[in-house]
Amino acid sequence: MGKYFGTDGFRGEANVDLTVEHAYKVGRFLGWYYGREHKAQIVIGKDTRRSSYMFEYSLVAGLTASGADAFLLHVTTTPSVSYVVRTEGFDCGIMISASHNPFYDNGIKVINGMGQKLEAEVEEKIESYIDGEFGEIPLATKENIGRTVDFVAGRNRYIGYLISLATRSFKNFRIGLDCSNGSASAIAKSVFDALGAKTYVINNEPNGTNINTDCGSTHIHVLQEFVKEKGLDLGFAYDGDADRCIAVDGRGNVVDGDLIMYVCGKYLKEEGRLNNDTIVTTIMSNLGLYKACDKAGIKYEKTAVGDKYVYENMVQNGHCLGGEQSGHIIFSKHATTGDGILTSLMVMEVITEKKQSLETLAGEVKIYPQLLKNVRVADKKTARENPAVVKAVEEVGASLGDDGRILVRESGTEPVIRVMVEAADDELCEKYVNQVIDVMKEQGLIVN
């Protein structure tokens, strides 16, 4: 990770950690970098945060001042930007979003011409320019100044693409959608309605400050209650920029990213379409997923947390399905990044083709109890490498043996250490997570 760019772009509190000056400079650099040999064309999408409009205008000012043309998708999803970049021939794409973070945070995600996360070496150059170490970049003049183009047609083409992927009609299905008052609000219902579903939508009235607030994939209990109350067949919840999806079955049970990967992976294997009979997971995936995969003859690989790393592994090894427990699922045949709405459609394909309910399909996996606690610290590296903390983690690992595991890692987007334990029951999870956090408190590593 760099000074500004983490595992998922440049993210922080709007006008505190991430300012309009930062956005302007990102635009200035990208407009110049991609426009050295031709007039750059760069597409921009945003989520529904109040500050997204502010950053959009700052980025446009920087891009056009450097001579690039800026194409505006307006409110849309991160995966739609990726899709438009790679299918419409743009030099790069920019998504303004802090994903699942609170509304007062925001972020700038840059997507390269192949629809993938921007290369680290280019991010380093952007950081150098922001800090005044790169040198001056010329301003465009006269007819070379860039223009701004309304490109809502690109978002509409993405919606059409999603609809085209469905193998069967969703007629007679009662489906709930929690749009998290974010990007999915502009897209998800249109897709499911077009495919014939009886669609029940909640949290699709964004006001700039309610994105991710007690809704969406990070507050799945809201959709659970809604599905049970309305007697729906199932439901899908997205995060702020709709690159995540968590499902809820007809009984109100949560079907997270691990379960979605199992359901889709087993189906693809049966169809002869799971490349290498392998799925790609992260180190956060549940032990229960691996045990179920072993039984189904599905192989798996593990990467660091972040769909960026999952996708890198998939490309290098020719795998077609990977993702995270949090709901970032990548179907490489159809997309180059996690896509929440696409994931919903792939789950529906399994349900409609196998004629089985989601609770039946996901019920084959016995999930181990898992507890994750986030601890705010002054310095992530110092906290994680503290000798007393390392010793406490090793002791917990030894106590769990083969019947569980502990994982302590740094957040890629926040000043947070994540402590996760899987064990035979909830009480053991609580005991061992607190055991490590207590040591961190004793060492004075935690801040309020």
Token pair of 8 as six digits = 């998922």
Instruction: Measure the CA–CA gap between 138 and 136, rounded to whole angstroms.
Output: 6
Burial status of residue 273 (CB atoms within 10 A of its CB: 0-12, 13-18, 19 or more): exposed
Coil vs helix vs strand at 282: strand
Q: Minimal CA–CA distance to 393: which of 420, 373, 428?
A: 420
Instruction: Measure the CA–CA gap between 276 and 269, rounded to whole angstroms.
Output: 9
- According to DSSP, the residues that pair with 331 across neighbouring strands are 321
The answer to whether 406 and 420 have CB atoms below 8 angstroms apart is: yes
Half-sphere exposure of 6 (CA within 13 A, CB side): 19
Token pair of 43 as six digits = 């597409």
Q: Annotated active-site positions, please? A: 99
DSSP H helical segments within 297-421, as ranges?
Answer: 307-317, 340-354, 358-362, 380-385, 387-400
Instruction: Measure the CA–CA gap between 109 and 92, rounded to whole angstroms.
Output: 11
Instruction: Measure the CA–CA gap between 57 and 42, rounded to whole angstroms.
Output: 14
Instruction: Measure the CA–CA gap between 399 and 391, rounded to whole angstroms.
Output: 12
Flag whether 243 is marked binding. yes
Flag whether 131 is marked binding. no
Token pair of 86 as six digits = 């790679």
Edge-to-edge strand list for the sheet holding 234-238: 198-202, 174-178, 234-238, 245-249, 254-255
CB atoms within 10 A of CB 140: 18
Flag whether 99 is marked binding. yes
Token pair of 347 as six digits = 């789950």
Instruction: Measure the CA–CA gap between 160 and 272, rounded to whole angstroms.
Output: 27
Q: Which helix (H) or strand (E) holds 41?
A: strand 41-46
Which residue numbers belong to the known binding site? 99, 239, 241, 243
Which residue numbers belong to the known binding site for Mg(2+)? 99, 239, 241, 243
